Amino acid sequence: SIQNYGTRYQTGSGGFETVAFFQALGDFLGIFSLSLFIGASMGCLTALLTKFTRVRDFPLLESALFVLMSYSTFLIAESSDLT
């Protein structure tokens, strides 16, 4: 890879490309917005689950459910190739 960098640097190619910049910006905004949507929806689901059920009577179950729901958010994002 060092040799490839040297030859590419000498030829003058590999400078700033506008198309690549906007493509990277679009990828970032898409991943960011979908990750935000997944996180917010799972957060709302967790809040509704703990509010409208009697799980608050069982603190250990409530804590375990909170951790599992938080981890499931990561797993959903991971399976969607958003991490």
Beta-carbon-side half-sphere exposure of residue 11 (alpha carbons within 13 Å): 8
- For the chain, how long is the longest CA-to-CA vector? 69
The answer to whether residues 66 and 42 touch, using CB atoms and an 8 Å cutoff, is: no
53 phi/psi in degrees, rounded to 5: -120, 170
In the prediction, which pLDDT does 35 show? Answer: 95
pLDDT in single tens digits along all 83 residues of the chain: 566 666 666 665 567 788 989 999 999 999 999 999 999 999 999 999 989 999 989 999 999 999 999 999 999 999 998 87
